[in-house]
Amino acid sequence: MRKNFLTVPVILAACSPFIGCQQPDASNKQPSAITPFATIALADSLSAQDLWPGFNPRSTPVAIFDGTRTLLFRHPAPPAAFTPLAGHDGVWVHAGRDSSVSANTSTQLGGVTTATLLPAPDSTPALRRAGILVHEAFHVFQRAHHPSWSANEADLFTYPVSNAALLTQRRLESEALRRALLAPMKPDAECWARAAVNLRQLRFARLPASASAYERATELNEGLATYVEWRATNRADSAVMPPGEFAPEDIRERGYRSGVALARLLDRLAPGWRAELEAHDSIPLDSMLWAAVATQPGGPCGFTDAERDRFGRIAMSEVTALTSRLAAERRSFLDRPGWRLIIRAASPLFPQGFDPLNVNVVAPGEVLHARLVKLGNDAGSVEVMGRPSLSEAAGTHPLFSGVRKLTVTGFKEPPRITKADSGLSISADGITGMFRGARADTGGMVVTLYLP
């Protein structure tokens, strides 16, 4: 059955490439050096600050997998798999990783929206870990109070990332935001903020409406969650917009930071903006900033011709490199030694979950999922987690028109296909699935599953 674009769950990892920390590993069997209890306590202490009107992280349900067990805090109706943890009132536990805890995100657990965390690398500072929990708790708040603050992830796959002219304008806008944040005098901050919004208006006029809507919604969703996280952990303005900006395809990652930039400039230039947005939550952040600076006195800020030329040359070079890199990633995936699994679906498979921070359209209709994808139809479903997979579209959209073929490579052992009363089950390193009416075939080092 086809899923509505806006209702497909996405699995979001808070440790993304632009932050510079490792991706959480749901298969990690070693307890983290940062205990769940220490993380909860530090996050609660950070939450004593004024983070957002009406937001109280200390009342948010939280599930934390520590590598050996899943601990559930402040949950009003724990699922039956959880039992009270001796010596800790209000804490429940069950052995292993609960299936709903697949990333640092917010999800439904026992019918209740819950913040979830996976084990962190030992090198992760405790303050960073607590900040991630505040970030995910704010997502729980957003889902309850501002459900419209959510981008249509289908639009990410058709964003024109290979347009060098649009990338040049995006980079200039980001640099203007960076200069506004770092400006010591308010008039200079207003001037560069005005330049940034002007550049955005020109860029959005050339973008498809779906692309600009995606950016704005991501800034409200992930940008504000990051803003609240950084407000809690007191991150500096100088860390918001990196001088090198982001890779051409990193639209979502940039939204985390551009959202913070817009919010922090609003803190400085329109102090009452949070209450206004809380009351009228459909206003884009850039529109609020424009209202704050459009009529302020002062001369225009802008870039020299030499600066514009430099940004343009860099953008053209990076778009060329992106095309080559995506082709190389596809070849590298397909050339991985070992066994491979191919699932061919006569009736398209539709996404039931994926990680938008770790996907790339590597060829027309082909999406390389670096970390996670779950696909299904009326016959069953398959989940690939912790290893790459390549989906091939059944229709015009690279993913959301359905998938006709899924390929997973690089197995040391052949994937196990087991017959059961309910159909054929799939079991391999990083893969689980079950389909009714399917048949399997093995040839060479390829296991192919044919779905009805």
Render 161-213 in DSSP notation, one character per residue. Answer: TT-HHHHHHHHHHHHHHHHHHH-SSHHHHHHHHHHHHHHHHHHHHHS-HHHHH
pLDDT higher than threshold 70 for residue 307: yes
- Mean pLDDT value across residues 407-421: 93
What CA–CA distance (Å, rounded) separates 167 from 337?
36
Do the strands 372-377 and 339-354 form a parallel or antiparallel pair, or are they unpaired? antiparallel
Looking at every residue in the chain, the average pLDDT score rounds to 91
Q: Give me the pLDDT at residue 298, please.
A: 74
pLDDT higher than threshold 90 for residue 188: yes
pLDDT band at 17 (very low <50, low <70, confident <90, very high): very low
* DSSP label of 326: H
Q: Which residue has the higher pLDDT, 5 or 102?
A: 102
In this prediction, what percent of the chain has a pLDDT beyond 70? 93
pLDDT higher than threshold 50 for residue 21: no
Q: Angle of helix 285-293 relative to helix 251-269, nearest 10 degrees? A: 40
Q: Give me the pLDDT at residue 122, please.
A: 85
Answer for the pair 353, 374: CB distance below 8 angstroms, yes or no. Answer: yes
pLDDT higher than threshold 70 for residue 30: no
- Mean pLDDT value across residues 113-129: 93
- Mean pLDDT value across residues 216-234: 98
Residue closest to 333 by CA, chosen among 314, 356, 355, 360 = 360
Q: How many CB atoms lie within 10 A of CB 254?
A: 24
pLDDT higher than threshold 90 for residue 12: no
pLDDT digits (tens, 9 = 90+) for 340-375: 999 999 999 999 999 888 899 999 999 999 999 999
The single-letter code of the amino acid at 279 is A
Q: Give me the pLDDT at residue 299, please.
A: 73
How much is the pTM? 0.83
